[in-house]
Chains A and B, each alone.
Chain A
Amino acid sequence: MYIIIVGGGKVGRGAARDLIRMGHEVCVVERDANTAWSINNELGEVALLGDGAEIHVQRAAGMNRANVVVACTGRDQANLAVAQTAQTRFNVAKVIARINDPRNERIFRTLGFDYTISATAAIVNAIEQEVSAGLSRLTQLRSTAFVLSEVTIPQLAPAVGCTVRDLALPPHTVLALIIRDDDQPEVPGPNTLIQAADVVIAVTQPQYQASLHEALTGTS
Chain B
Amino acid sequence: MRVVIMGCGRLGSTLARELDHEGHRVTVIDVDSAAFNWLEDDFRGVTIVGAGEDIDVQQAAGVPAADIFLALANGDNRNAMAVQVAKHIHGAPRVVARIYDPERADVYRQLGINVVNPTRILDEMVREAAFGQNSNPALDAPDSTAEER
Contact = CB atoms under 8 A, between A and B. Distances in A.
B111 A107 contact: no
B107 A104 contact: no
Contacts of B146: 88-91
Q: Is the interface of A mostly helix, strand, loop or mixed?
A: helix
Contacts of A89: 103, 107, 146-147
A219 B146 CA distance: 57
B81 A107 contact: yes
Q: Is the interface of B mostly helix, strand, loop or mixed?
A: helix
Interface in B80-112: 80-82, 84-85, 88-89, 101, 103-104, 107-108, 110-111
Interface stretch (A51-59, A137-145, A150-158, A210-218): A51-59
Contacts of A64: 147-149
B119 interface: no
B80 A77 contact: yes
A111 B84 contact: yes
A85 B55 contact: no
B53 interface: yes
Interface in A82-114: 84-85, 88-91, 101, 103-104, 106-107, 110-111
A146 to B, nearest CB: 22
Nearest to B78: A77
A31 to B, nearest CB: 12
Nearest to B108: A84
Contact of A103 (B56, B81, B84, B101): B56
User: What interface size band does chain B fall in?
Assistant: 20 to 34
A65 B76 contact: no
B147 to A, nearest CB: 5
B92 to A, nearest CB: 13
A110 B80 contact: no
A101 B50 CA distance: 15
B147 A88 contact: no
Contacts of A65: 149
Nearest to A56: B103
Shortest Cβ-Cβ A-B pairs, 10 listed: A77-B77, A55-B103, A77-B81, A81-B77, A110-B88, A77-B78, A91-B146, A64-B147, A88-B107, A78-B77
Interface of A: 53-56, 59, 64-65, 75-78, 80-81, 84-85, 88-91, 101, 103-104, 106-107, 110-111
Interface of B: 53-56, 75-78, 80-82, 84-85, 88-89, 101, 103-104, 107-108, 110-111, 146-149
